[in-house]
Amino acid sequence: MKYLIAGLGNIGDEYAHTRHNIGFDVVSRLAADTATTMTAERYGEVGYMKFKGHIFVLLKPNTYMNLSGKAVNYWLQKEKIPVENLLVVVDDLALPFGTLRLKGKGSDGGHNGLKNINAMIGTSNYARLRFGLGNDYPQGAQIDFVLGRWSDDEKAAIGERIATAAEIVRSWGAIGLERTMTQFNNK
């Protein structure tokens, strides 16, 4: 059984470890936990992680956030992975900082990366792990907030939240969406 885990973010040093790149950081953690090598491939960095008899194709798109669907669609087709085996890790301003919410489908919630994925693969019926950023920013400063670095308080907690997000991804592949949602959502 093969799964595609797409962590969303933007390429470039100026975006590394910003709030908007939390998807990249979760995928990097998954790779590090299993000594999986990520290599530059078409439309992104890709690694092949084995976990409990399953293959997780880890993807950090290099198409920039707003064109993430191009990379996701390409790798779904290249690896012959059905949409029901896709999990997208994405930042979410509507959730308090550090909140992790796994869903089986849903709207793009105004997130341009999800909007592009929905358009490119023709559905919004795929799993997504939403990582809460909170909304502690002045009106009109949303872009600066999501592209900004973590506060000192957030830095103190971010490692543990990324580790938990990686655990959720592994659980989703091993025991499925419903059981993983029951175990982790709202905690």
Q: Which residues pair with 5 in a beta bridge?
A: 58, 87
pLDDT for the residue numbered 176: 95
pLDDT for the residue numbered 49: 97
pLDDT in tens, 109-153: 889 999 999 999 999 999 999 999 998 888 888 889 999 999 999
Residue 40 — very low, low, confident or very high, per pLDDT cuts 50/70/90? very high
Nearest to 71 by CA among 22, 11, 1: 11
pLDDT in tens, 53-72: 999 999 999 999 999 999 99
pLDDT for the residue numbered 74: 98
pLDDT at 166 over 80: yes
| Residue ranges per structural domain of the chain | 2-184
- The catalytic position among 17, 20, 54, 111 is 20
- Averaged pLDDT for residues 104-108: 92
Query: Using only C-alpha atoms, what is the Rg of the chain?
Result: 15
What is 2-184's CATH topology?
Answer: Rossmann fold (3.40.50)
Q: What is the DSSP string of 137-153?
A: S-TT-HHHHHTSBPPHH
In whole angstroms, give the CA distance from residue 171 to residue 43: 26
pLDDT at 99 over 80: yes
Residue 187 — very low, low, confident or very high, per pLDDT cuts 50/70/90? low
In whole angstroms, give the CA distance from residue 30 to residue 116: 24
Instruction: Give phi and psi for 3, each to the nearest 5.
Output: -130, 150
- pTM of the predicted model over 0.85: yes
Burial of 121 (0-12, 13-18, 19+ CB in 10 A): middle
Nearest to 105 by CA among 81, 88, 91: 88
Residue 42 — very low, low, confident or very high, per pLDDT cuts 50/70/90? very high
Nearest to 85 by CA among 12, 173, 183: 173
Tokens 């580790």 label which residue? 163
pLDDT for the residue numbered 184: 95
Active site residue 20: yes
Tokens 């470890």 label which residue? 17
pLDDT for the residue numbered 21: 96
User: How many helices and strands in the chain, by DSSP H and E?
Assistant: 6, 7
- Averaged pLDDT for residues 89-104: 96
Nearest to 42 by CA among 66, 24, 60, 27: 60
Residue 27 — very low, low, confident or very high, per pLDDT cuts 50/70/90? very high
In whole angstroms, give the CA distance from residue 129 to residue 160: 16
